[in-house]
Amino acid sequence: MTAPALLPLSGRRIPPLNLGPPSFPHHRATLRLSEKFILLLILSAFITLCFGAFFFLPDSSKHKRFDLGLEDVLIPHVHANKGAKDPGGFLIHGPDEPRHREEEERLRNKIRADHEKALEEAKEKLKKSREEIRAEIQTEKNKVVQDIKMKEKKPLPPVPIPKLSGINGGDPEDNDIRMKREKIKEMMKHAWDNYRTYGWGHNELRPIAKKGHSTNIFGSSQMGATIVDALDTLYIMGLHDEFRDGQKWIKESLDFSVNSEVSVFEVNIRFIGGLLAAYYLSGEEIFKIKAVQLAEKLLPAFNTPTGIPWAMVNLKSGVGRNWGWASAGSSILAEFGTLHMEFVHLSYLTGDPVYYKKVMHIRKLLQKMDRPNGLYPNYLNPRTGRWGQYHTSVGGLGDSFYEYLLKAWLMSDKTDIEARNMYDDAIEAIEKHLIKKSRGGLTFIGEWKNGHLEKKMGHLACFAGGMFALGADGSRNKAGHYLELGAEIARTCHESYDRTALKLGPESFKFDGAVEAVAVRQAEKYYILRPEVIETYWYLWRFTHDPRYRQWGWEAALAIEKYCRVSGGFSGVKDVYSSTPAHDDVQQSFFLAETLKYLYLLFSGDDLLPLDHWVFNTEAHPLPVLHLANTTLSGNPAVR
Ligand code: DMJ
């Protein structure tokens, strides 16, 4: 029988519901479908009303407390019989009452704050373009997949550490050199002890204000950048108590599950590089585990249309983006091109090819691209895969990309011929278009900007002296030439130090008419404890044993001691041409990772970290050569 149509508007009465036994055979006790629906509607409206009324009631805590039995749900630690019920249904409050109130207030504030945060986030989302929102959703999805994968993941496979040599030693025979090495170690103690006292856990130290310091490259959270960056230097200097102190902090406090947006490049070279080096030197598993945990957090940065990673990634959400200042939303060559060494080691240690594939994808993409004059521009758009502004430099924005091509080859026990060829091609183009001699006979590396050579060399570009020397062996029959070129760059950079009041080099210097190796603009006159010039002295020392490099290194060490040392550590200076310089009040983490390490190695024997067994990443963290033939790596599909 079909149910009668419900026509309330027609005035026709809806037959009463008969829930009792049937009185007429045609009025059965069962409810018709439409009647059930109405009933359900009324019921649900009633429930909604009650529910809503409950939430819209005025805040009862301000008037009286009803025992709604919610405390145990909201405040699990409040025991039910702590407040007995009086006959009127009110709670008779015990001595704990103020504590309860506080607790409730705290919870209410938390709920309010969470709501506000959610509102803010929603507002932020609405400001974003469709494309950005879509990318975020994709990232979220990938994150979920990744999390599932992580949960399913087996523990890291036991990979034999390649045969390591030269992790200790290097004691100089000469007394004078030994004394100099001891002095460098003392400087390291001073930098570390003050960071330990005033900045522990913070990323860096402000040695004058005597408190922690951080910059946006490390994000908003305290990740102890100085601890991670300094570990291997402490280890090779034999500062084992300090090393263990750092290890303890990393084990107990280093947390990557933070809502913080970090630089992929900086975190890779300082944290992953630092942790991997500490692992190889000490054999302590915790460093490997932390390196892998962090690397997993960086992977979402590669979720771009081209696979060229974003410059920054949020460690919690996995959302990436580029620096606002970079040409046309581009990623930076020196950033996405400086991941190879660490990522190959990660694949080696985990047996997971994902890291290796990411960096090889970048390489393949770069190989396919046109290069104006054979030069790699510094900017590449990760959405379109097109170059941004045609700006090429061996200093900032380009530098370590070239370094990692050479070091990929060295680290592979010279089997990665593709990387070597890319390096040789790039260096030939650089020599042709960017390297010039000044009127006064100084060799310098300029910068190419839209078809024009700017005769300016950055302090950062001074690392190239060491790179040319390191790459001399294995070059296209020009070993002598590249060693000589490295020596010439070392001389130019030494001149940039020598022509200042403090004997410390400026951030960048010009070659223009009468001006040679001198900074012209005030904004270029600072020295922030950078290592590149000393790094080049050390490589040149290793390859030539010419005493001038130790002498130049010692000059720099004395200048740092005299002008940068303060009671709370070491600080950069704002003007190297002023004999009474102002301090910038920052002790950079790379001062402990690189500057002091290269100085220490300069005054050590060559048996400490020999270059045929170790390759230094761009933050001076030594990683072992993966001798393919001698390790299980040859059977490891991750790196074949
Ligand atoms: C370091 O963090 C690394 O050497 C990087 O490659 C660029 N420069 C800084 C120190 O100057």
DSSP 8-state assignment for residue 559:
H
Average pLDDT, the chain: 85
pLDDT band of residue 26 (cuts 50, 70, 90) is very low
Report residue 19's pLDDT band, with 50, 70 and 90 as the boundaries: very low
Among protein residues, the one with the nearest Cα to ligand 1's atom 8 is: 460
Task: Tell me: pLDDT of 2 over 60.
Answer: no
Who contacts 608 (Cβ-Cβ below 8 Å, separation ≥6)? 166, 168, 169, 170, 236, 601
Identify the bridge partners of residue 125 per DSSP, sorted by sequence position: none
User: Does residue 193 register a pLDDT over 80?
Assistant: yes
Ligand 1 pocket member 456 (CB < 6 A): no
Which tokens in the block code for residue 361?
A: 């994808």
| 624 has pLDDT over 80 | yes
**Which among 310, 276, 269 has a CA at the least distance from the CA of 293?**
276
Residue 284 burial class via C-beta count within 10 angstroms: exposed 0-12, middle 13-18, buried 19 and up: middle
% of the chain beyond a pLDDT of 70 = 79
Is residue 318's pLDDT more than 50? yes
**Atom 1, ligand 1: which residue's CA is nearest?**
619
Number of helices and strands (H, E) in the chain?
Answer: 21, 21
Q: What distance in angstroms lies between residue 143's CA and the mean position of ligand 1's atoms?
A: 30
What's the 101 CA to ligand 1 centre distance in angstroms?
53
- The answer to whether residues 338 and 407 touch, using CB atoms and an 8 Å cutoff, is no
The pLDDT, as a whole number, for residue 38 is: 54
Question: 167: which DSSP letter?
Answer: S
Distances 600 to 183, 323, 493, 542, 563 between C-alpha atoms, Å: 9, 35, 20, 13, 19
Cα 633 to ligand 1 centre (Å) = 30
Res. 614: pLDDT tops 70: yes
Region 132-148: mean pLDDT is: 70
Return d(Cα 435, Cα 444) in angstroms, integer.
6
As a dihedral over the C-alpha atoms of residue 456, residue 459, residue 465, residue 467, rounded to 10 degrees, the angle is -110
- CA-CA distance, 72 to 85, in Å (whole number)? 15
Rounded distance between C-alpha atoms, residue 232 and residue 193, angstroms: 16
Binding site membership of 496 for ligand 1 (Cβ less than 6 Å): no
- Say if ligand 1 is within 6 A of residue 619 CB: yes
